[in-house]
Structure 1
Amino acid sequence: MNLNLLIKIRHKKGFTQSCMAEKLSYKNKASYCLIENGKSKITIDLALKIKDILNLTEEEFKRIFFEDKVLETQTYKTYCI
C-alpha cells in the first residue's frame, strides 16, 4: 500500500483526517489516522469507500492500494545427505 500517495491525494483534494473519519463513519480521526500510519488493515470494501470519497481514478486506486512490483521470494532447497 502506498500510504504517502494516499496522504498526498487526500491533501490535494482538501480532505482532513477528521473529514475522512466522518465520511467513513468513524467516531474520531484517530481511527482513520491508523490507516494512514499503516497500523490498520484495509479491506477491499474500505478501499472502495476511500476511492469514492476521494474520487480516485482507477490508476490512483491501483497505485495506492495494490503493489505494482513483484516482491522477491526465496526458495528453500532440501538436500539429501
Structure 2
Amino acid sequence: MANTKSAKKAERQATRRTAVNKSRRSAMRGTVRKVEEAIASGDKAAAAAALKVAEPSLVRTAQKGVLHPRTASRKVSRLTQRVKAMA
C-alpha cells in the first residue's frame, strides 16, 4: 500500500498507463489478427489491405513504448513476407 503522496500519485499514474497500454496492445493485436485471417483465407487483396492498416498500428505501439521497436519491426517484416508469398 502506498504511504507517501508521491507513491500514491505514482500508483494512480501506473493504473492509468496500464489501461491505456492494454487498449493499444489490444487494438494492435486485432489489426494483426485481421491480416492473419486474410492470409489464411487466401485472399491476397484483403491481406494487403489489412497489412496496410496493421503496419502503422504496429509502428505506433512501438513508438508509444507498448512494444519494443525491434519486435514491431520483426512482426511487420514477417507479415509482409507472408502476404508477398501469396500467389
TM > 0.5 fold call: no
Q: TM-score range by the shorter chain?
A: 0.3 to 0.5
Please identify which structure carries the higher helix content.
2
TM-score normalised by the chain length of structure 2: 0.32
Which structure's relative contact order is higher, taking Cα pairs within 8 Å and 6+ residues apart? 1
TM-score normalised by the chain length of structure 1: 0.34
